[in-house]
Amino acid sequence: MAAPPRRFRGLGRGRKLRRTLREGGRGASGRLNEAVGRWDGVRITPMFGRWGYFSGEQLFACFPLREKDHDLWVRLNPMDQARALREPGLRPHRRFASRGWIEMDVDSPEDVSHALRWLRRAYHNAERASAKGDSDG
């Protein structure tokens, strides 16, 4: 008797996650993906349980695929990172703060508007880095 078809890593766990991937996100991630996806040269792709936001080859932000997670990671230049960390609700990334990453929770539509401000800065930084050929991850 033949073995049942094997599930492959990276296809998502179960129907709900696959549906979320197919629909381009739900809740806050859907709103972020819709807004950021309109920007020139942005590529949004699932990676390691998060939506990865790229300008060229530069990763400039990540947001969880799962609807119950809300921590947006944004990569900024040192000056923007210092400015962002003075705002309430924004914090240094737990592992990559030294590389310019910050974290913020995005739950409500108001949070999405606030996040888009920082995402736009990160996007412009990534655009400039891509134009210069800088691939520092």
Domains and CATH numbers, the chain: 26-132 (3.90.1150.30)
Q: Please report, in tens digits, the pLDDT of each residue of the chain (137 residues total).
A: 555 554 444 544 555 555 555 555 677 888 899 999 999 999 999 888 899 999 999 999 999 988 888 999 999 999 999 999 999 999 999 999 999 999 999 998 899 999 999 999 999 999 988 777 765 55
Name residue, tokens 């997670």.
69
Give this prediction's pTM: 0.80
Bridge-based pairing state of the strands 42-47 and 50-55: antiparallel
Alpha-carbon torsion, ordered 32, 135, 50, 117, to 10 deg: -20
